[in-house]
Chains A and B, each alone.
Chain A
Amino acid sequence: MSARAAAAAFRPAPNGLAGAALLVLGWEAAARAFAGTYLIAGPVDVLAYLSGNGALMARALSETLGNAALGFVAGNCAAILLAAAAQLWPRGRAAIAGLALLVFCLPLVATGPILRVLLGPGPGPQIVLAALAVYYTTFVPLLVGLRAAPASWFDLVRSYGRGPVTELRRVRARAALPYLFAGLQIAAPAAFLGAMVGEFTGAERGMGVLTVRAMRALDVEATWALASVAALVSILAYAGIGALAEMVLRERPPVILSPPGAAGRGAGPARGALVLALAVAAWWIVLEAAGLPTFFAKRPDDFWAAFVTAPDAAAARATLLGALAETAIYVLPGYLAGLLLGAGLAIAILLVPAAAAVALPLAVALRSVPIVTSAPLLVLALGRGAVGTVTLVAIMVFFPSFVACLHGLRQAPGQVLDVFDSYAAGRVARLVHVQVPAMWPAFFAAARMAVPASVLAVTVVEWLATGQGVGSLMALSASLSDYDMLWGSVVAVALLSGAGYVAVGAVERRVLAVYAAEQVAG
């Protein structure tokens, strides 16, 4: 199977029709099982709704899809520029990666109103939110991809006296392509969902607006018709990007040989402090430059006052830390569940290629159905306890891990797989000795992406189901105009994500020093 089976990473398997049929049948079965709960509509009802409301749906789709497409382009371009800058300017790498992480951590509840005030009633906030939903999951794999080339190629460039820019153009850009495509595939459903959720900030029209109304109106057919269209669009975009990747990436991945360097400096305390200082400065400068009122756009000094110097600062701190503790309990299990589900599914597809026909569309669908639509069903089935919470977080987090690992497994060098072929080695042997080691850089990219994603996901679940923790606190603060507490929660979420990111980095350096020295050099 080697490269050929791994190419399933990019497109639905040829037996996709059978797989799709199986999915639709499962969906109908679930709808029947939950009939009478007003939580799910099956494919038959959805088709009936679509046939009766096609024009409305088409108008909403064109609005949301247009915004999603613009956000997709903008977010991915930003990711490419950021990754190129981080590569060309190694000293700035930690700062760029750190700020990119922190911006990704900002929850919609804080940014939505700001974007609406800044950008007005048009599609601006939806586009920006779609872009924000995708840039990070492209940026992180690109950082890995830009280093994923044999040292000898860089020697070649340097032997002609050319520097980092030529390296980037002639070697790194191409070496990063598989990782770019992984990022783009992750971005496809994320951009659409981002545009939909962006409409919650007061957009006039689109599929997000219709979803809010349909759920409120107990219109399950409309709710699931919207979710189905979102999922279908995402699946098509995913498959389209996959087909493009297959056209472009025709060569088998090279053996990446890289001398073990004297590397392994992580984000030391000094760098961490620098990133923090830059973040605080950026926070202040951006809000000042935009001239936003401090009523809802709190500055760092407001935060300091509210949580350190004010008379009731101790109470505010206690509230925030209490909520943070409730949240933190679920972050690690949710994170691990999401990451392992993603990696496990990718490996399963490699071992049982036929499973791709069902697993791929299901994975994309799970990611592209808005969580507000699917959460009530899962809560009903699994409850509001640890199982339900962790499952919901895992569902929101697993997709980037899944796609990144699928592409990572595909980076197994063709020459090495040939050697295994010559011994007629089995799938498991290849997996253990070649494909999983080749996957490690992508896996750790996934592990990094999953950190802020799982923190945000826990806050969403808290808001949707458990009514606890920072997620609930943010919702409450926003509704009561307690923007000090809201921004405090944002800071807490960002710090929690930052800590997780640093922890992942420490593990990553140990593993990649052995498996992919090029990733940790310098």
Chain B
Amino acid sequence: MAGRGIIGRRAVLAAGGAALGLPLLGRGRPAHAQAAIGMQLSWLHSVQFAGSYIAQDRGWWREAGLDVTLLQGGPNAPVEPPVVSGTALVGISAADYTAAAVAQGAPFKILAVAMQKNPFVVASLPGNPVAAPGDLPGKRIGMALANTPVLEALCRLNDVDASAVTVVPTQYSAAPLLNGEVDCLLCWETDLPVAMAVQGVESVTMLLADHGYSVHSQTYIATEESLAERRAELVALLSGEVRGWEAYREDPVAAARLTVARFPDAGLDLATQRLQADRQVPLMFSDLTEARGFGWWTEEAVAANIETLALLGRDVTADLWDRSILEEVHGA
């Protein structure tokens, strides 16, 4: 689960100290191995990336001459460095992160959009619900301070006084909500609410995307250099992705089963994966993808993204999105 989720998912854990490793221990893989391709996932293996597992499991990439390695993410594994350094050809990012990286000089383009709707929600308990942005004032919200711009953007979009909301910096967990430290959480539709449901706790979620917050998530990014020089590999990789996700759509339960079976050491639990698989379907699939295929986006969506990103302090143009690979994949 990439995304602006929380700083916890990509950020520091400086405990124990750390360092500039042993510099010459290894140079990693060569930047451009022949058919060996890395795809950097944005989080730990889960049904969040099940489309990729299906593509790999059914050999669609192998048939296209690709040997794809899915590189797992983690709390301290940002997506951008491996893509810039060439360790990964493609990374799973989100429009806001990509915009930030581009502002820092990374030559990224967004090639496809898995989550049409941003998965951010404000989650609360039914006894003290946040059902609409207007419910936020007076509430204590648990989140990473780094996500303050998200909250502010939501409030601006809905004419709510952001200063009336108390931000409590918390780890990315539902526990602060359940033990009463906060009234609501800023989190993803597909993780903490799912965890609560599996523990038997019903929660109320307010999807930010339903209240004007338009930021593409789980986007496929690559460098301009790769776009220019490795088009064939990119097309083959995304073709597999599209087929995988279409298969996922057909049968999310099978996708959840495959995920659990594929990673026996990951501590995955089928109930959680099934629920997560169900909950991400409406975020990823719509009439648009029905019509144009998985990963597609419209100019209107890009315009809305640019507007929301501006509220987040990111000035981008429509050039950030490059649909040429996807057009080849879908034969448009």
Q: Which chain B residues in 119-148 approach chain A with CB under 8 Å?
A: 144-146
Asked if residues B144 and A129 are in contact (CB atoms below 8 Å), the reply is no
Given contacts A117-B28, A133-B17, A295-B104, contact A213 B171 (CB under 8 A): no
Residues from chain B with a CB closer than 8 A to the CB of A222 are 267
Asked if residues B104 and A118 are in contact (CB atoms below 8 Å), the reply is no
A132 at interface by CB-CB < 8 Å: yes
Asked if residues A124 and B26 are in contact (CB atoms below 8 Å), the reply is yes
Residues from chain A with a CB closer than 8 A to the CB of B196 are 218
Chain B 86-102 near chain A by CB (<8 Å), digits 1 or 0: 01000000000100110
* Other A-B pairs, 19, CB within 8 Å; known A37-B175, A63-B265, A481-B104: A38-B175, A107-B12, A111-B20, A116-B87, A119-B25, A200-B75, A213-B268, A218-B178, A222-B267, A376-B171, A460-B13, A468-B145, A474-B12, A476-B145, A479-B97, A481-B78, A481-B80, A481-B101, A481-B103
Asked if residues B10 and A105 are in contact (CB atoms below 8 Å), the reply is no
Contact of B80 among A203, A295, A375, A484 (CB under 8 A): A295
Residues from chain B with a CB closer than 8 A to the CB of A116 are 77, 81-82, 87
Q: Which chain A residues in 421-469 approach chain B with CB under 8 Å?
A: 452-453, 456-457, 459-460, 463-468
Number of chain B residues whose Cβ lies closer than 8 Å to a Cβ of chain A:
76
Q: Which chain B residues in 158-184 approach chain A with CB under 8 Å?
A: 167-176, 178-179, 181
Binds B, one of A161-169, A204-212, A401-409: A204-212
Given contacts A117-B85, A210-B267, A295-B80, contact A463 B21 (CB under 8 A): no
Asked if residues A201 and B19 are in contact (CB atoms below 8 Å), the reply is no
Query: 9 tightest A-B contacts by CB?
Result: A467-B169, A202-B77, A475-B11, A109-B12, A107-B14, A467-B145, A37-B179, A481-B101, A205-B265
Asked if residues A204 and B72 are in contact (CB atoms below 8 Å), the reply is yes
**Distance of B2 from chain A, by nearest CB (Å):** 10
A115 at interface by CB-CB < 8 Å: yes
Report the separation of the CA atoms of residues A112 and B97 in the bound assembly, to the nearest whole angstrom.
18
A14 at interface by CB-CB < 8 Å: no
**Distance of B198 from chain A, by nearest CB (Å):** 7
Binds B, one of A269-277, A286-294, A514-522: A286-294
Q: Which chain B residues in 1-57 approach chain A with CB under 8 Å?
A: 4, 7, 10-29, 38, 44-45
Asked if residues A115 and B21 are in contact (CB atoms below 8 Å), the reply is yes
Asked if residues A204 and B78 are in contact (CB atoms below 8 Å), the reply is no
Contact of B15 among A37, A53, A371, A480 (CB under 8 A): A371
Q: Which chain A residues in 38-58 approach chain B with CB under 8 Å?
A: 38-39, 53, 56
Asked if residues B16 and A484 are in contact (CB atoms below 8 Å), the reply is no
Given contacts A37-B178, A290-B27, A472-B146, contact A209 B16 (CB under 8 A): no
**Distance of A190 from chain B, by nearest CB (Å):** 6
Asked if residues B18 and A132 are in contact (CB atoms below 8 Å), the reply is yes
A384 at interface by CB-CB < 8 Å: yes
Residues from chain A with a CB closer than 8 A to the CB of B265 are 56, 59-60, 63, 204-205, 209
Residues from chain B with a CB closer than 8 A to the CB of A465 are 169
Asked if residues A193 and B16 are in contact (CB atoms below 8 Å), the reply is yes
Given contacts A286-B20, A481-B78, contact A216 B101 (CB under 8 A): no
